[in-house]
Structure 1
Amino acid sequence: MILWTIQHKSAYEKMRKSGVLRANEAHLCDDSFTEAYLWMSGQMTKRIGNSPEGVIFPVWAWYKWEGERKRLDMRAHGRHWGTKGSPIVLLTVDVPENFVLLSDFDYWHVVLNNGDIIFPHCEEAIYSQEEKKKSWENIFDIDCSYDGEQHQYLTTQATLWEMRWEWVIKAENFISR
């Protein structure tokens, strides 16, 4: 399965030397997202198997960007992938399918913000935390069949426990803007 991931140059260099890239807990964007990241890790365990020893959080990649199976155009999307001026690397990787969990990138933000993905949605309803968490599993319906709409520009993210050097097809260097 061809995927694309953007990594800091230092992470890329570490992977090149060690042969593997694993998520570093110290680089999570925001502590308030820890619960959502742990939930995703639990889903990965349930759906693709246990993590390697010592691995808690996934590595993120892209399967589909804005409705198309293509690499990101870094001229349009080269922003916010690190501190302005920092070196980053766009990797094209070929990962065995059984190592990957695909999910809806936009609805992932509902999970990050502790919302619900319940259809049909009722604005007046108050859902329990258990109902909300169960609804989060809708992010794995990447065909969007649960809400009856076709999402023309659906972005599909991929999570995996680790990225291996032998999966790298191409590495492109950029500077974050």
Structure 2
Amino acid sequence: MIMWTIQPYCVYQQLISNGFFYCNPNKSENLKHPDFKLAYQWMTKQLRARLAPPCNQIITPLWARYRSYAYHYQRPDFRWARDYPDEVCIEYDIPEDEVLLSDFEIWHFVLNDWYYSSATSEKEWEQDERRFDALSKVEQQRIKEESWQQIFDITLRHGEWTRNGDVVQGCFWLLRLNQVRRVWRMKEEERVHEIYSV
């Protein structure tokens, strides 16, 4: 499957030098962010349950995009994909059994530690919220984490209450140089340009 990951340029340099790259948790900005730490730990736990890491020293997944807005399989729009002053967008081909796909919009319920209702109407949603609010804190946490499993349903659906699979992200353990198809460099004050292509 074709995916795209945005990484600092130094990651690309490591990939060229070593032939592979995996996340160093000590250098991950998102893992340092106190509001995101628990959500990223939860996703890592899900990945471990579904896909065993290739070796013991890999403990934190990498993130990539699989489907962009409006249900399209295409690389990210470089106008909005700026996370670092000097970064690359790496297009790569990875076996499906090495990736855990999830709905990017629903991921925000995990990031914000919110319950995700499966309601399909306003009436259902109000009833669901009342039931949830009536639970004990311990039970709310259990039900909330169960509700997050819906993040892994990326079935294409759209409607007022059923939008799903519009933007899909993927987590994986290891990026190998032989999987890379194309690389674009995005550096502040410079035009985006392709620096690698097979």
Class of the TM-score when normalised by the shorter of the 2 chains: 0.7 to 0.9
CA-to-partner distance for each residue in 1:72-106, whole Å, 9 max, x for gaps? 121x2243x12xxx211111100011100000011
Question: 2:129 — aligned with what?
Answer: 123
Question: 1:68 — aligned with what?
Answer: 72
Using structure 2 for the length normalisation, give the TM-score: 0.78
Over 3 Å counting, the alpha-carbon distance change for 1:51 and 1:111 in structure 2 is farther
Give 1:14's aligned amino acid.
Q
Give, in angstroms, the shift of residue 51 of structure 1. Answer: 5.1
Relative contact order, CA 8 A, sep 6+: which one is greater? 1
Give, in angstroms, the shift of residue 114 of structure 1. Answer: 0.6
Gaps of 5+ in 2: 120-124, 190-198
Question: What is the root-mean-square deviation in Å for CA atoms of aligned residues?
Answer: 2.0
Correspondent of 1:36 among 24, 35, 39? 39
Give, in angstroms, the shift of residue 31 of structure 1. Answer: 2.8
Based on CA coordinates, which of the two structures has the bigger radius of gyration? 2
CA-to-partner distance for each residue in 1:88-144, whole Å, 9 max, x for gaps? 111110001110000001111110111111222333332510111111110000116
Percentage of identical aligned residues: 31
Q: Measure the CA separation in 2 of the matches of 1:52 and 1:65.
A: 30
Aligned length: 170
Q: Measure the CA separation in 1 of the matches of 2:51 and 2:162.
A: 27
Matches within 5 A, 1:146-161: 149-151=162-164, 154-161=166-173
SS at match of 2:36: helix
Gaps of 5+ in 1: none
Q: Measure the CA separation in 1 of the matches of 2:37 and 2:88.
A: 25
Q: Measure the CA separation in 2 of the matches of 1:113 and 1:3.
A: 26
Instruction: Report whether the alignment pairs 1:162 with 2:174.
Output: yes
